[in-house]
């Protein structure tokens, strides 16, 4: 199994979410189940069925968070010397003039909208350990892509 990386901020966010789900949301759903269960025939009780579905989704999310936290490696920040998890890299695609900036994070917090890219992505796997100024390539669905590392923050 591959390591899962989390920034300190994401680790704390997941701990808070887990605490809310286990201490508050579980109790809320238990009350909903109790209330809906007192309404009669459970086979035709849509409120009860919805509460059961909510309960199953809640327990699935709790289990998912617990697994991530159990196996996670918390990174404080990346090196400015070489590309790694927690690094912010500025790339220049060969043949392009536009620079692209990404923060390298674990899969749990990857978000292209926020320019956070998973450490498990082919792009990151191709540049891990490289230094400023180095060039690299990797195979993407569109073909071989070539980049240069302009800056590591």
What is the structure's pLDDT at 41? 63
* pLDDT single digits (tens) 70-82: 989 998 777 788 9
What average pLDDT does this structure show over 14-40?
91
Question: Do the Cβ atoms of 101 and 90 come closer than 8 Å?
Answer: yes
Distance of CA 10 to the CA centre of its chain: 8
CA distance 64 to 57: 11
Beta strands 4-7 and 135-140, pairing class: unpaired
pLDDT reading at 40 higher than 80: no
Comparison of pLDDT for 70 and 36, the residue scoring more: 70
Predicted confidence band at 7 (pLDDT cuts at 50, 70, 90)?
A: confident
Cβ proximity of 61 and 101 under 8 Å: no
* 77-152 is a CATH 3.40.640.10 domain: no
Distance between CA atoms of 112 and 60, rounded to whole angstroms? 25
Average pLDDT of the residues of the chain: 90
pLDDT digits 0-9 by tens, 113-125 = 999 999 999 999 9
Q: What is the CATH number of domain 4-74?
A: 1.10.287.180
Task: Answer whether 0.95 is exceeded by the pTM.
Answer: no
Confidence band, pLDDT 50/70/90 cuts, at residue 43: low
Beta bridge partners of 90: 101, 151
Residue 84 dihedral angles phi and psi, to the nearest 5°: -160, 180
CA distance 87 to 103: 6
* Spans of all domains in the chain: 4-74, 77-152
Residue 107 per-residue DSSP state? G
Q: Which residues pair with 148 in a beta bridge?
A: 92, 135
Helix, strand counts (H, E) of the chain: 4, 7
With a cut of 60, say whether residue 1 has pLDDT above it: no
């Amino acid at each position: 199994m591959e390591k899962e990386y989390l920034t300190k901020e994401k680790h704390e966010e997941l701990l808070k979410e887990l605490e809310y789900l286990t201490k508050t949301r579980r109790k809320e759903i238990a009350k909903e189940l109790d209330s809906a269960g007192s309404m009669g025939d459970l086979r035709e009780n849509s409120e009860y069925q919805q509460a059961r579905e909510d309960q199953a989704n809640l327990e699935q999310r709790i289990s998912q968070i617990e697994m991530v936290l159990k196996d996670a490696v918390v990174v404080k920040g990346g090196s400015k010397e070489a590309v790694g998890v927690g690094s912010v890299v500025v790339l220049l695609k060969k043949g392009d003039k536009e620079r692209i900036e990404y923060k390298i994070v674990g899969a749990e917090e990857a978000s292209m909208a926020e320019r956070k890219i998973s450490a498990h992505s082919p792009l990151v796997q191709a540049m891990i350990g490289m230094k400023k100024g180095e060039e690299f390539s990797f195979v993407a669905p569109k073909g071989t892509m070539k980049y240069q590392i302009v800056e590591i923050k």
